[in-house]
Amino acid sequence: MVAHLPSPTLNLAFTRNQAYWTAHNLGTMNIVSVHCHAKHRKAEPSRHRQAHGYSFESCCKHGDVVLEKLKQLPEPLNSLMGGTTLQSKNFLKDVRRWNSLFAFTSISYNMDNRTTAQGDSFHLFQVHGAVYHLQGPLKAPTGRDAAFSQIYLYDPLFAAQARTTRAEGLDTEIILALTQMFQESSPLIQMYKTAKERMEEAEERSGQFRIILNPQMQLVVESGADRRRENLPTSDEVALILPEEYGEAGCRDLVLAKRDNSGPVSETLTIINQNHASYLPMHYVLLFPNGELGWHWGRELRNENRQ
In the complex, the residues that contact Zn ion under the rule CB under 5 A are: 33, 35-36, 38, 59-60
d(CA 165, CA 151): 12
Cα dist from 254 to 136, 208, 268, 271, 286, whole Å: 11, 17, 13, 8, 21
**Residue 6: CB minimum distance to Zn ion, A:** 39
3-state secondary structure 64-86: CCCCCCCCCCCCCHHHHHHCCCH
**Residue 59: CB minimum distance to Zn ion, A:** 3
**Residue 194: CB minimum distance to Zn ion, A:** 37
**Residue 141: CB minimum distance to Zn ion, A:** 43
> Which lies closer to Zn ion via its Cβ, residue 38 or residue 107?
38
Cα dist from 274 to 66, 127, 177, whole Å: 20, 18, 30
Q: How many CB atoms lie within 10 A of CB 87?
A: 15
> Which lies closer to Zn ion via its Cβ, residue 68 or residue 204?
68
Torsion from C-alpha of 59, 63, 65, 67, nearest 10 degrees:
80
**Residue 61: CB minimum distance to Zn ion, A:** 8
d(CA 4, CA 130): 28
> Which lies closer to Zn ion via its Cβ, residue 66 or residue 92?
66
Residue ranges of alpha helices (H) inside the chain are: 57-60, 77-82, 86-93, 95-102, 156-164, 172-185, 187-204, 244-247, 265-268, 279-283
d(CA 225, CA 24): 54
**Residue 62: CB minimum distance to Zn ion, A:** 7
Burial of 217: CB neighbours in 10 Å, binned 0-12, 13-18, 19+: buried
Q: 3-class DSSP state for residue 286?
A: coil
**Residue 134: CB minimum distance to Zn ion, A:** 31
> Which lies closer to Zn ion via its Cβ, residue 54 or residue 246?
54
How long a stretch of residues is the chain? 307
Alpha-carbon Rg for the chain, nearest whole angstrom, is 23
**Residue 49: CB minimum distance to Zn ion, A:** 14
Burial of 190: CB neighbours in 10 Å, binned 0-12, 13-18, 19+: middle
